[in-house]
C-alpha cells in the first residue's frame, strides 16, 4: 500500500500519515493482521523525524485501529478486536460536525449531504469488494 | 610495479569521473534537484557533455604528462610515488572543479527559469516495501568475526613459537617491509584491525538497510524495483568486501606465525586477486546502476514532483539533515552512499572504528 505525504501542506505530516493509513484500511488495501513498518523505517522512508511517525502510530493505537509492537512495527487489528464503542461513535459525530456545518452555511441541503456521505461510503466499499 | 598500479587506478578513477553524470539519477544534475518535467532541457545535456569532455581531455593529457615525466626523469621510489599520487589528485581536482562550475550553472538556470514553482512536492512510501527488501541479515556480517576470534586464539596459542619481530607493513608485492618487537599486543594487532574492519562493514550494511527506500512519485513501481536491486547489490558487495579483507588479513597474520608463507612474492597473486575483485565489483556496480536507472523518456504531464531537498545539501555534495533518521543517503554526484552528517549515529558507525584503528596504530609504534 502506498502513502503520499506533502511536506509543504498545511495539514501536519503525522495527520497526513494517520488519515492515509485509515483510508488504506477502509479501502481494504491493508487487512487485519498486516504489518506496518517499524517507526524508524517508516520515518526513514518518509524522511521525517521519528517522533512524527510515532505520534501517528500512537494516535491510531488510541483509536483502536492498530497494536504497536516494540521495534518490529505495528499490526492492524481485526474488526472483532475493534468493536465500535459508543464513545468512538460520538467522536466520529463530533468530527463530522464542522464539515456538515460548513455545508449548511454554504447552502447544502440535508439530502445533498446524505447523498455525499453515501457516495463516499460506496466509493471506499467498491474498492474493498474489488480486492 | 608502482607505476602499473597507479596507472590502472588512475584510468579507472578517470573513467568513473567522466561517466558520473550519466550514471546518477537523471533528476539530480550536478547535485541540483531538477523536476522530472525539465530533465530533457537542452542546457542540462550541454552541461553534462561539457563536464565529460573537459574532464576527459584534461585527464588524458595529465596521464600522458605523468607517464612522460616518470620515464624521462629517473626518480627514487619515494619521489616517484609522491609524483604519481600528485597527478592522481590533480586529475580528481580538475573533475571537482568542473563539477563546481556546472553545479553553479544548473543552480542559476533552475532559479532563473523557476523550475518546480507550480509543481506540488510529494513524497511517496510503499508500506510493504520493507517486506520485499532482500538485503542480507546481520549473521552474514558477524560470521567472519568468528574467524577473527579463532585467529586470535591460535596466535596466543602459538605465541612462544612466533619470530621475535612482527610484520606490520607490507609493500606492494606482498613482502613485509616494516616490523615491530613481539609483545602480546603486537602479536594480535592485525586480527584487532581485522575485527574493526568487520565491525565497520557490518555497521555500513546495517545503516544502508535502515536508510530510506526512496520512490519517485511519478514512477513508483519502477523506482521501488530499482531501489531494491541497488540495496541488494550493495549488501552483497559489502559482504564480499568484508570476507575479502578477512581472507587477506588472515593470510597476513598466518605469515606472521609461519614467516615462510610470505617469502618472496608468494602473496602477490592473492593481493592482485583481491584488488581485481574489488575494482571489478565497483565497475560492475556502475554498470548496473546505469542499467537500473529510471528512464524518463516519456513526457510527464504530472502536476506533482519529488520533494526538493537541495537545502539539505551543501554544494550538492554534503548532506546535513537533522530531521532525517537515515544514516546513509545515496550520493548525488558519485557512486554509492554518503553520510547524513546531521545524524549522530553515523559518526558512531564510521568514525568510532576509524578512531580505534588510529589508536591501535599509535600504540603499536
Q: Which residue of B has its CA nearest to A2?
A: B126
- Residue B60 domain boundaries: 1-112
Q: Within the 267-286 window of chain B, which residues sit less than 8 Å (CB to CB) from chain A?
A: none
Do residues A64 and A109 share a domain? no
Residue A8, in any domain of the structure:
no
- Percent of chain B past pLDDT 70, that is, above it, reads 98
Q: Are B257 and B151 in contact (CB under 8 A)?
A: no
Residue B121, in any domain of the structure:
no
Do residues B291 and B361 share a domain? yes
**CB contacts, 8 Å: B213 with chain A:** 45
Using the Cβ of A101 and the Cβ atoms of chain B, whether some distance falls under 8 Å is answered with no
Do residues B107 and B148 share a domain? no
At B142-186, the pLDDT tens digits run 999 999 999 999 999 988 888 888 888 877 677 777 888 888 888
What does the alpha-carbon distance between residue B135 and residue B137 come to, in Å, rounded to a whole number?
Answer: 6
Using the Cβ of A124 and the Cβ atoms of chain B, whether some distance falls under 8 Å is answered with no
Q: Which of A52, A76, A100 is the last residue of a domain?
A: A76
Q: Are B292 and B233 in contact (CB under 8 A)?
A: no
Do residues A22 and A40 share a domain? yes
What does the alpha-carbon distance between residue B18 and residue B95 come to, in Å, rounded to a whole number?
Answer: 8
Beta A35-36 vs A73-76: how paired, if at all?
A: antiparallel
The length of chain B, given as a count of residues? 365
Do residues B103 and B191 share a domain? no
Q: Do B326 and A47 touch (CB under 8 A)?
A: yes
Among residues B359, B35, B32, the alpha carbon closest in space to that of B218 is found at B35
Predicted confidence band of residue B365 (pLDDT cuts 50, 70, 90): low
At B10-54, the pLDDT tens digits run 999 999 999 999 988 888 999 999 988 888 899 999 999 999 999
Mean pLDDT, chain A cut into blocks of 10 residues (131 residues total): 90 94 90 89 92 94 87 83 84 92 92 91 73 46
**CB contacts, 8 Å: B129 with chain A:** 37, 45
Nine-digit cell string for B104: 553553479
- What is the number of other CB atoms lying within 10 angstroms of the CB of residue B273? 13
Region class of B32: left (phi > 0), else alpha (psi between -120 and 50), else beta:
beta
The minimal CB distance from B127 to the residues A1, A5, A40 is found for A1
Using the Cβ of A22 and the Cβ atoms of chain B, whether some distance falls under 8 Å is answered with no
Do residues B202 and B271 share a domain? yes
Using the Cβ of A37 and the Cβ atoms of chain B, whether some distance falls under 8 Å is answered with yes
Using the Cβ of B320 and the Cβ atoms of chain A, whether some distance falls under 8 Å is answered with no
Using the Cβ of B301 and the Cβ atoms of chain A, whether some distance falls under 8 Å is answered with no
- What is the number of other CB atoms lying within 10 angstroms of the CB of residue B241? 19
Do residues B233 and B108 share a domain? no
Q: DSSP assignment, residue B35?
A: -
Candidates A1, A2, A14, A55: best to mutate against B (most CBs of B within 10 A) is A2
Q: Which of B53, B77, B112 is the last residue of a domain?
A: B112
Q: Can you give the pTM of this predicted structure? A: 0.86
Q: Which residues are within 8 A (CB) of B11 and not within 5 positions of it... i.e. 6 or more apart?
A: B63
Amino acid at each position: 500500500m502506498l502513502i503520499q505525504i506533502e511536506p509543504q501542506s498545511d495539514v501536519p505530516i503525522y495527520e497526513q500519515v494517520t488519515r492515509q493509513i485509515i483510508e488504506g484500511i477502509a479501502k481494504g488495501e491493508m487487512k487485519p493482521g498486516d504489518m506496518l513498518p517499524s517507526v524508524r523505517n517508516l520515518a526513514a522512508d518518509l524522511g521525517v523525524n521519528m517522533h512524527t511517525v510515532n505520534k501517528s502510530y500512537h494516535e491510531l493505537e488510541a483509536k483502536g485501529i492498530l497494536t504497536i509492537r516494540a521495534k518490529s512495527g505495528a499490526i492492524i487489528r481485526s474488526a472483532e478486536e475493534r468493536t465500535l464503542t459508543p464513545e468512538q461513535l460520538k467522536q466520529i459525530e463530533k468530527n463530522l460536525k464542522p464539515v456538515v456545518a460548513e455545508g449548511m452555511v454554504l447552502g447544502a441541503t440535508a439530502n445533498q449531504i446524505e447523498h455525499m456521505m453515501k457516495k463516499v461510503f460506496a466509493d471506499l466499499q467498491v474498492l474493498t469488494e474489488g480486492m | 610495479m608502482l607505476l602499473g598500479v597507479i596507472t590502472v587506478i588512475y584510468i579507472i578513477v578517470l573513467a568513473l569521473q567522466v561517466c558520473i553524470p550519466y550514471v546518477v539519477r537523471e533528476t539530480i544534475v550536478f547535485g541540483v534537484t531538477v523536476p522530472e518535467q525539465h530533465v530533457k532541457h537542452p542546457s542540462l545535456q550541454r552541461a553534462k557533455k561539457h563536464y565529460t569532455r573537459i574532464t576527459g581531455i584534461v585527464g588524458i593529457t595529465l596521464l600522458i604528462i605523468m607517464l612522460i615525466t616518470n620515464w624521462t626523469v629517473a626518480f627514487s621510489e619515494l619521489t616517484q610515488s609522491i609524483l604519481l599520487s600528485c597527478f592522481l589528485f590533480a586529475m580528481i581536482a580538475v573533475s571537482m572543479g568542473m563539477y563546481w562550475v556546472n553545479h553553479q550553472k544548473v543552480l542559476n538556470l533552475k532559479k532563473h527559469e523557476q523550475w518546480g514553482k507550480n509543481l506540488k512536492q510529494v513524497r511517496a512510501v510503499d508500506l510493504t516495501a520493507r517486506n520485499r527488501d532482500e538485503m542480507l541479515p546481520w549473521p552474514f556480517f558477524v560470521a567472519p568475526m568468528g574467524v577473527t576470534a579463532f585467529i586470535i586464539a591460535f596466535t596466543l596459542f602459538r605465541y612462544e613459537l612466533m619470530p621475535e619481530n612482527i610484520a606490520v607493513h607490507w609493500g606492494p608485492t606482498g613482502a613485509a617491509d616494516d616490523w615491530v618487537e613481539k609483545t602480546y599486543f603486537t602479536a594480535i594487532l592485525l586480527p584487532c584491525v581485522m575485527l574493526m574492519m568487520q565491525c565497520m562493514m557490518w555497521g555500513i550494511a546495517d545503516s544502508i538497510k535502515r536508510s530510506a527506500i526512496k520512490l519517485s512519485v511519478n514512477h513508483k513501481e519502477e523506482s521501488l524495483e530499482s531501489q531494491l536491486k541497488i540495496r541488494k547489490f550493495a549488501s552483497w558487495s559489502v559482504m564480499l568486501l568484508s570476507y575479502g579483507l578477512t581472507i587477506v588479513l588472515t593470510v597476513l597474520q598466518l605469515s606472521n606465525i609461519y614467516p615462510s608463507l610470505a617469502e618472496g612474492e608468494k602473496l602477490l597473486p592473492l593481493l592482485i586477486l583481491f584488488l581485481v575483485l574489488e575494482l571489478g565489483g565497483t565497475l560492475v556496480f556502475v554498470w548496473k546502476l546505469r542499467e537500473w536507472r529510471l528512464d524518463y523518456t516519456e513526457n510527464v504531464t504530472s502536476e506533482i514532483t519529488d520533494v526538493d531537498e537541495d537545502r539539505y545539501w551543501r554544494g550538492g555534495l554534503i548532506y546535513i539533515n537533522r530531521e532525517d533518521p537515515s544514516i546513509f543517503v545515496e550520493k548525488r554526484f558519485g557512486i554509492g552512499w554518503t553520510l547524513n552528517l546531521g545524524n549522530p549515529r553515523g559518526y558512531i558507525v564510521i568514525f568510532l572504528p576509524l578512531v580505534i584503528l588510529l589508536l591501535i596504530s599509535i600504540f603499536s609504534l
